[in-house]
A = this chain, B = another copy of it.
Amino acid sequence: MTPSSTNLSRTEAWSLLALVGVSVAIVANSFHGDGEPLMVSIAFSVFAFSATYSLIRWLGPSFMKVGLKGKDMAKAKRPEIPETMGAVCAVVYLLVLIAFIPFPFYKDIVAATSGGGNRDVVQVVEHVEMGRYLHRFPHNKLASYLSGVLSLQAIVLLGIGDDLLDIRWRHKVLIPAFGAFPMLIVYFVDFGVTQVVVPMPLQPYLGEIINLGWLYYAYMAAVAIFCPNSINMLAGINGVEVSQSLVIAVLLLINDSLYLSPFTPYPHPAMDSHLFSIYFLLPFIGVSLALLFHNWYPSKVFVGDTYCYFAGMVFVVVGILGHFSKTLLLLFIPQMFNFLYSCPQLFHIIPCPRHRLPKFNAVTGLLENSVTEWAHPPPALISAILKILNHLRLIGIKTNTKGEIIESTNLTLLNLWILWFGPMKEDRLALHIVLLQSACGLLALFVRHRMALLVFPSDNRNFLSSV
């Protein structure tokens, strides 16, 4: 397939139609039973995959026409391809999430319209909750769900604004804070709990539970700013934004399923929160997979900042509304490292060029380290530190005959990886990052569930604490 081909091949069209057929069948079947929301969510996610896959293909030319396009600099021919395709993902995702609302939420109060504009009748209908596994949510969780959707919609709106208008770096960083705003406001109105359990070593000083008050909101805002921006920072080679997000989503899904029925005694008190998280993650995986098909090396579309913000905010929403934001952060270890490693450049201790991506070598076809050139040799202290880091193989430097540093590698995880394992092809680098992300995440989850007992009185999965 050439990048300009915007029609689905016959195989693609039939496969996607078959997937749509399967999902329609599952949803139709759910009406006969008790409307099992988890099955419906899976069906909706399959549908979301098919819809996104087709729309990305169809909308490419329209995006190019209005200037949403970019050059792929890591290819010999530097082809121009559509940009901001994450917006398509996000819109499909949001529609699916909204269409899904009736399935997990039952109505417990029915109040009347002002019938005919001339009367205000109020009726109350009693509903009997069946003793289902994976039951439906009580009505009062609807506001949480809606606030999550609202935050995601806000971040997409702002992300598209960012991709369209050229917003300065220091303003961009705050976009996710605005996106998280609806969720935090509803958290405040609807929920408002800001107590956390104190780790055991600190309990003699702070008590068993401590109320963090507004600090808790500051913490949540910090998480909301960190996750989207950190994904946006570990970016720039084909497929890396989407694949890292997919790994995080799948790991969160694994963590969520640990709280469900076959793995833990029913009903678990955190089950609702984790089901909630699953309902947000499944369609995300659907739309992201469809995007990855088009964004993996060699990319036929770019994802745009919109996708990075959107993906990060999905994680923030499930982490905060599902009450496992600390577990969430454990899955961001590569992103955190990348951020910390970048700090000297971000805060201009070391010069920061506009782009810090690995550089494409057209002769070998491999990605190489990109470097910062020092117009003047660095001050003695920085020079000494850089030389030590160079010895530790945490940075690469080049010196002139006088021993003065004339260039140093840019401080990103991607450059460091090339420093360690040598120049490599773009898809191999992306694959390495995926494997790194998976390994770090699995390890973190293992530590979180096995080692939590060392510092907390109990793990919040009953069956583990009873082991």
Contacts and interface: CB of A to CB of B under 8 A. Distances in A.
Interface of A: 59, 62-63, 65-67, 91, 94-95, 98-99, 101-102, 105-107, 109-123, 139-140, 142-143, 146-147, 149-150, 153-154, 156-157, 160-161, 164-166, 178, 181-182, 185-186, 188-199, 209, 269-270, 273, 323-327, 452, 456-460
Nearest to A109: B140
B189 A118 contact: no
B186 A107 contact: no
B66 A165 contact: yes
A68 to B, nearest CB: 8
A157 B153 contact: yes
Contacts of A273: 114, 120
Contacts of A185: 98-99, 101-102
Nearest to A150: B150
Given A105-B189, A143-B143, A156-B157, 7 more contacts: A99-B181, A110-B191, A116-B197, A118-B458, A119-B457, A119-B458, A140-B140
A192 B110 contact: yes
Nearest to A122: B269
A62 B165 contact: yes
Nearest to A461: B118
A259 to B, nearest CB: 10
B142 A193 contact: no
9 contacts: A62-B165, A65-B165, A91-B161, A102-B189, A114-B323, A116-B196, A119-B458, A120-B273, A139-B140
B119 A197 contact: yes
Contacts of A95: 178, 181
Sorted nearest first, the 10 A-B pairs with minimum C-beta distance are: A116-B197, A115-B197, A120-B269, A146-B146, A118-B456, A114-B323, A153-B153, A112-B193, A142-B143, A115-B196
